[in-house]
């Protein structure tokens, strides 16, 4: 992937805008999935990371090192908080809790300190003043936006018209305008191979968009997910890319992490 030096352009009203944001979420220490995504990404100006960088997968240090090298825009996820030791594992199932303990003890002191210091969302993608990133929802970093009712209620808690969120590991999102809510998912041309789907955004209304999970998709599709927002075109392109899932599973088993964490990658659940 190539991260271009940011090309800030001046619009007619003298506001600075960026061109392309790479949106990564829920990498969950899956280095093989992250590397496959980065190999498929078109040139981007800025990387925005929506949290849950670690937890579940076997390469937390490598994934943090890579993420840190790509940019500075991060919000923390619930697994980041737990692995950093600043939140307990209440609400985590046994498998997730085991991964938290393993990750906490595997992180280098430097990466642990970095993880602890990650900011809570929402975070505006400055200099854009109408686009933000969150982990869960605009009103609660730990809220799951699964159905349009949740999304609509949460959207009332923000004036920002475009929110990128993660947490659910489901690619797609919600559009709220004139008291109507719509749910959308990218319509890909194939269920295998590497695919992309471009969506032109409307000017009025609010969007809540999930780029999908890089490292542990749960929408029934095992391929790694990410999205690119083009602020100039006001469009979002969703991606699904294949990665070496066998290798990621071998690493999970070699680390002594629960077998379920390897299995679920194949199922995309
Ligand atoms: Zn997650």
Model confidence at 18, pLDDT cuts 50, 70, 90, reads low
**What are the residues whose beta carbon lies below 5 Å from ligand 1 (ion)?**
26, 52
Task: Give the integer Cα–Cα distance in Å for 91 and 79.
Answer: 11
What does pLDDT average to over the chain? 92
What was the pLDDT predicted at 17? Answer: 57
Residues 79-88: tens digit of each pLDDT = 999 999 999 8
Q: In angstroms, what is the span from residue 216 Cα to ligand 1's centroid?
A: 8
Mean pLDDT, residues 7-29: 72
Q: In angstroms, what is the span from residue 226 Cα to ligand 1's centroid?
A: 13
pLDDT at 14 over 80: no
Q: In angstroms, what is the span from residue 204 Cα to ligand 1's centroid?
A: 30
State what percent of residues in the chain have pLDDT above 90: 81
Q: In angstroms, what is the span from residue 56 Cα to ligand 1's centroid?
A: 9
Domains in the chain with CATH codes: 18-266 (3.60.21.10)
Helix spans in the chain (H): 31-40, 60-70, 78-84, 94-106, 109-116, 148-155, 245-254, 259-267
pLDDT at 216 over 50: yes
Q: In angstroms, what is the span from residue 135 Cα to ligand 1's centroid?
A: 9
Q: In angstroms, what is the span from residue 137 Cα to ligand 1's centroid?
A: 13
Task: Give the integer Cα–Cα distance in Å for 53 and 81.
Answer: 10
What was the pLDDT predicted at 61? Answer: 98
Q: In angstroms, what is the span from residue 69 Cα to ligand 1's centroid?
A: 21
Q: Is the pTM of this model over 0.85?
A: yes
Give the C-alpha distances (Å, rounded to integers) separating 228 from 15, 95, 146, 160, 234.
Answer: 21, 32, 21, 18, 11
Q: In angstroms, what is the span from residue 50 Cα to ligand 1's centroid?
A: 9
Q: In angstroms, what is the span from residue 187 Cα to ligand 1's centroid?
A: 23
Mean pLDDT, residues 184-199: 95
Question: Which residues sit opposite 237 in a β-bridge?
Answer: 198, 228
Q: In angstroms, what is the span from residue 153 Cα to ligand 1's centroid?
A: 22
Mean pLDDT, residues 115-139: 94
What was the pLDDT predicted at 4? Answer: 59
Q: In angstroms, what is the span from residue 214 Cα to ligand 1's centroid?
A: 10
Residues 168-183: tens digit of each pLDDT = 999 999 999 987 889 9
pLDDT at 13 over 50: no
**For residues 70 and 1, which has the higher predicted lDDT (pLDDT)?**
70
Mean pLDDT, residues 72-81: 97
What was the pLDDT predicted at 98? Answer: 96
Q: In angstroms, what is the span from residue 55 Cα to ligand 1's centroid?
A: 8
CB-based contacts of 239, cutoff 8 Å, min separation 6:
37, 40, 41, 194, 195, 196, 225, 226, 227, 228
Q: In angstroms, what is the span from residue 67 Cα to ligand 1's centroid?
A: 16
Model confidence at 5, pLDDT cuts 50, 70, 90, reads low
What was the pLDDT predicted at 178? Answer: 82
Q: In angstroms, what is the span from residue 241 Cα to ligand 1's centroid?
A: 18
């Amino acid at each position: 992937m190539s991260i271009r030096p940011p090309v800030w352009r001046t619009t007619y009203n003298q506001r600075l805008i960026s061109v392309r944001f790479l949106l990564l979420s829920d990498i969950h220490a899956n280095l093989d999935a992250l590397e496959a995504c980065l190999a498929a990404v078109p040139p981007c100006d800025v990387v925005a990371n929506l949290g849950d960088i670690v937890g579940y997968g076997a390469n937390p240090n490598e994934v943090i090192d890579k993420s840190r090298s790509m940019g500075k825009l991060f919000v923390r996820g619930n697994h980041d908080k737990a692995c950093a030791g600043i939140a307990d594992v209440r609400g985590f199932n046994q498998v997730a809790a085991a991964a938290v303990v393993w990750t906490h003890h595997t992180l280098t002191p430097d990466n642990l300190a970095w993880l602890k210091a990650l900011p809570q969302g929402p975070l505006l993608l400055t200099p854009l003043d109408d686009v933000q990133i969150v982990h869960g929802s605009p009103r609660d970093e730990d809220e799951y936006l699964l159905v349009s009712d949740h999304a609509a209620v949460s959207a009332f808690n923000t004036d920002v018209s475009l929110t990128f969120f993660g947490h659910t590991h489901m690619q797609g999102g919600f559009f709220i305008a004139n008291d109507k809510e719509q749910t959308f998912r990218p319509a890909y041309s194939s269920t295998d191979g590497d695919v992309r789907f471009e969506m032109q955004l409307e000017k009025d209304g609010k969007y809540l968009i999930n780029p999908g999970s890089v490292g542990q998709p749960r929408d029934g599709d095992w391929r790694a997910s990410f999205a690119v927002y083009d602020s100039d075109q006001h469009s979002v392109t969703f991606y699904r890319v294949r990665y070496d899932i066998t290798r990621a599973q071998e690493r999970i088993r070699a680390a002594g992490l629960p077998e379920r964490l390897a299995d679920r990658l194949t199922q995309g659940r």
